[in-house]
Amino acid sequence: MMRLSTAQPDFAAALARLLTRAQGLAEVSAQVREIIARVRAEGDEALLGYTARFDRQRLTAAELRVTRAEMDAAEAATPPRLREALAVAARRIEAFHRAQLPRGIEYTDEAGVVCGMRWGALDAVGLYVPGGKAAYPSSVLMNAIPARVAGVGRIAMVVPAPDGVLNPLVLAAAKAAGLDEIYRVGGAQAVAALAYGTASIARVDRIVGPGNAYVAEAKRQVFGQVGIDSIAGPSEVLIIADDGNDPDRVAMDLLAQAEHDEDAQSILVTPSGRLAARVETAVAAALTALPRREIAGASWERHGAIILVQGWDEAAAIANQVAPEHLQLMLAEPWPLFAKIRHAGAVFLGRDTPEAMGDYIIGPNHVLPTSGTARFASGLSVYDFMKRTTYAEAPGAALAALGPHAVALAEAEGLTAHAASIALRLAKD
């Protein structure tokens, strides 16, 4: 774990080193390229072959799709407390994303031209859901519900089932999200099937959802054939905290991110040396009892940091430079500092709004830009499942008023057919 201070002469270089985390996608690029090529050429045969090889599950094409009976059984096997939690989360996620639905525009300008833009949903979306040890029903809700709210006509979910085991809670979440087209396949081969289609799985227009390095690389390689949400890197949190915080709470918020993955990153920024020391001690103590202590400990040791700053302006500047996936402002009065934040995937305000609440139940999406990409990217929303179409109508008077200017510009660009297509109409009038 790095201990940094903005007062040290090499702070800028040290912070840059801290933020450098190799994702290693290049190492799997060739393997993924081969998998995609085979699925594209051989369809179900390659898909089933890779499923047998990587997931130790031999299936026929007819067995790829999860049945309604299996979904009903998974829902029935889910304890009532968890069914209720899924239902509450689904309602809150839907409410937040329904509030995002955009409105089209249309106006008639002074020349008499009608200009407009309308929104429409994608026809088909593929949702990748991790399986096996990394089975996250919350990700099903966060990816599927915005697509449904946007009005996507078809949502196809793929989820690996290592050794033939499907997590019942993932299927229960799928049912809560209104999904009914689910396939028990994963990895780069599932991404390829969604992108290019096979006899059993029809192609989609966009692929969203988290996965391992092979899935991320597959999404990168099929981009252009289909749209994708992002190439997600390791998870991260940056916490800005004042001295009034309970160090045990701050420590657990740091570890909540660290337990995701050995490459996850947790950073504390504070002007209080006292809080920094107490949090460091609290992290060490909490790790001894944490069930995922090996993962969280490795993350904290390799990528964790505590940064001492000399004021809140420095803290805001660091946050904007890091552009973290998750930003917690654990302050007595967080709103003034929030006003200075320009780059963050999602921000959690106050001492009692841990990022973990956002992962599950608050409502805004937990699929967020990582690795500094919050400088130019946003979290998943209904907009990811919609597209805009502009339209215009130029009646005769508008054509007469604007056409000569368009002809002049077309001729200046040497595009004579462009100019003629307009001039012919002007001459007719």
All structural domains of the chain? 2-23+233-362 (3.40.50.1980), 25-101+120-228 (3.40.50.1980), 394-428 (no CATH)
Cβ(99)–Cβ(145) below 8 Å: no
Q: Where are the alpha helices (DSSP H) in 112-264?
A: 137-150, 168-176, 187-196, 213-222, 247-258
Report CA 131 to chain centroid distance, whole Å.
Answer: 17
Residue with tokens 């049945």: 67
pLDDT reported for residue 3 = 96
For residue 264, give both structure tokens: 């996850």
Q: Is 306 exposed, middle or buried (0-12, 13-18, 19+ CB in 10 A)?
A: buried
Q: Which residues of the chain have pLDDT under 70?
A: 21-26, 132-134, 429
Q: Give the active site residue among 94, 217, 325, 355.
A: 325
d(CA 148, CA 158): 16
Beginning with the edge strand found earlier in the chain, give each strand of the sheet holding 227-228 in spatial order: 181-183, 154-158, 124-128, 206-208, 227-228
Identify residue 93 by its one-letter amino acid code: I
Handedness of CA 46, 51, 53, 54 (dihedral sign): positive
Side-chain-facing half-sphere of 235: CA atoms under 13 Å: 23
Is 236 among the residues known to form the active site? no
pLDDT reported for residue 26 = 61
pLDDT reported for residue 382 = 98
Q: CB atoms < 10 A from the CB of 352, how many? A: 9
pLDDT reported for residue 231 = 87
Query: Can you give the pTM of this predicted structure?
Result: 0.93
Give the C-alpha distances (Å, rounded to integers) separating 144 from 97, 152, 173.
11, 10, 10
For residue 144, give both structure tokens: 């599927």
pLDDT reported for residue 429 = 54
pLDDT reported for residue 212 = 87
pLDDT reported for residue 131 = 83
Hey, which residues does 158 pair with through a beta bridge? 128, 183
pLDDT reported for residue 151 = 98
Handedness of CA 193, 207, 25, 233 (dihedral sign): negative
Beginning with the edge strand found earlier in the chain, give each strand of the sheet holding 265-270 in spatial order: 2-5, 305-308, 265-270, 236-241, 326-330, 346-349
d(CA 132, CA 230): 22
Cβ(139)–Cβ(367) below 8 Å: yes
Q: Give the active site residue among 260, 326, 343, 366.
A: 326
Is 326 among the residues known to form the active site? yes
